Amino acid sequence: MPLKEGGTGRLPNRLLTPLEKVQDFQRRLYLKAKRKEVKRFYSLYDKVYRWDILAESWRRVKANKGCAGVDGKTIEDIEKKGVRQFLEEIQKDLKEKRYKPDCIKRVYIPKPNGDKRPLGIPIIKDRVIQMAAKIVIEPIFEAGFQDCSYGFRPKRSAQQSLKKVKWLLNRGYTQVIDADLKSYFDTIPHDRLIEIIAKRISDKNILKLIKLWLKAGVVNEGAIQRNGATGTPQGGVVSPLLANIYLNELDKIWRERYERQFNAHLIRYADDFVILSGRQPQENLKTLRKIIEGLNLKLNEEKTKILNMEKDRLTFLGFSHKKVYDRKRNARYIISFPSAKAMKTIRSRVRELTNSQIPEKVKVIVSRLNPVLRGWANYFIEGNSSRWFCKLRYYVGKKVRRFIQKRRQRGGFGAYPNRYLYKELGLYYLTTNRLRLSSESL
């Protein structure tokens, strides 16, 4: 459809799909916020219950899956009753300002070191409303986020942050502060967070929604615990955005005041970050402590350390970075590869999935194993990981062969060659070759 001369370049709203309408709305919000850093937005609440935004929120929440909250309702339960009726009830509650979030279900996820990470699971209704609010307010704050931030942002990823870290290391920024915040999500001060959000958003109803989510109670082992003046639960849809909004203050302070002064670069993925410089890391760490204290947060002193990449190894976001010497090029440079912890975690998962006590057919086991291997490979394919891929491929092959051998009670490992594993069973072949070897070549 040709555009009229002098037009805006936008298609008429009636020609856009619901998803395109949401994207167009977000784009316009982002551009308005980008043009003027001090611009405040006054009327946003009615957009949260706009039908196309609620429909898109439902689509995203459903795609994320997740288990039921304290009310026990699953995605399937809502679909049986009717999604349209579910969204209409949400729209009515928001429009009449009767909405109040339910308590959050506390679950604990085991960590590789034996500890447990607390996660908060809101009910699906709260997830949909949080997602709708996120769709509306995220473009406004995204316009002000710094380039050094990569976590939980549109079109940004951990791999991008790792590439930037490696690029800086190879250019001589080898003095590294590997920083760790102490219980970051549990210590974000509510008043300070709301104050930062209010600099951009003046709509009192949006601010009220955020306050309600921050204050929502947590059901922990049957007992309801009320949130105090700090913390946003990990697991909530809007929590990563709120965490980024707060730590953007750190990003801005460092970029505006200290990046040039110390020639030191901050790279952050959510609450994991490093500062890379060519010299004076002690001074950088001293300054970092002051900024963190000014934000009413705390560094985890046990895990925060200064590294010299001429001799030390940096582990960041699952990758280890190490300086090596290349005789052919007569040069030293940084390589990156899966960390020992990452290898231990994936081996543990493979061992769990190939347990011979599981009463399933081999092809079922392989079908469960493949998504895990594919996800791991897609993350670690960057860098210098071929040796670690080879090690894991050997380990996976060994565990699958042992599973088959124990289930069938016959045949040695030689009875199940690679052709059988990768062609007949369809086991995912771990390789750093992006074209991936075809099964016929095995």
pTM, to two decimals: 0.90
pLDDT of residue 441: 45
Helix or strand run (H / E) with residue 119: strand 116-121
What's the CA gap between 130 and 106, in Å, rounded? Answer: 18
> How far is C-alpha 413 from the geometric centre of its chain's CA atoms?
39
Q: Is the pLDDT of residue 361 over 80?
A: yes
Q: What six digits make up the tokens of 343?
A: 């290898």
pLDDT of 76 above 80: yes
- Give, in order, the Cα–Cα distances in Å from 155 to each of 93, 149, 152, 321: 33, 12, 9, 24
Classify each residue of 104-117 as buried b or exposed e, where b means 16 or more C-beta atoms within 10 Å of its C-beta. Answer: bbbeeeeeeeeeee
Amino acid at 200: R
Q: Is the pLDDT of residue 1 over 50?
A: no
As a whole number of angstroms, the distance between CA 380 and CA 139 comes to 30
What distance in Å separates the CA atoms of residue 16 and residue 21, rounded to the nearest whole number?
6
Nearest to 426 by CA among 366, 365, 349, 356: 366
Question: Angle 362-380/386-408 helices, nearest 10 degrees?
Answer: 170
CB atoms within 10 A of CB 209: 22
Q: Residue 147 carries which DSSP code?
A: T
Q: Which two tokens stand for residue 385?
A: 């990981």
Which residues 6+ apart lie within 8 Å of 423 measured at CB? 439, 440, 442
**Locus of tokens 């980024």:** 244
Close Cβ partners of 373 (under 8 Å, ≥ 6 residues apart)? 350, 396, 428, 430
Give per-residue pLDDT as tens, 428-441. Answer: 999 988 655 444 44
- Burial class of residue 385 in the structure, from the number of CB atoms within 10 Å of its CB (0-12 exposed, 13-18 middle, 19+ buried): buried
d(CA 363, CA 423): 12
Q: What is the pLDDT of residue 108?
A: 83
Q: Which amino acid is at 386?
A: S
Which candidate, 47, 23, 39, places its Cα nearest to that of 155? 23
- pLDDT tens, position by position, 257-292: 999 999 999 999 999 999 999 988 999 999 999 999
Average of per-residue pLDDT values in the chain: 90
Q: Which of 113-122, 184-193, 398-407 is predicted with the least confidence, judged by mean pLDDT? A: 113-122
Residue type for 253, please? Answer: I
**pLDDT value at position 413?**
56
H or E element, residue 116: strand 116-121
What's the rounded mean pLDDT across residues 30-51?
93
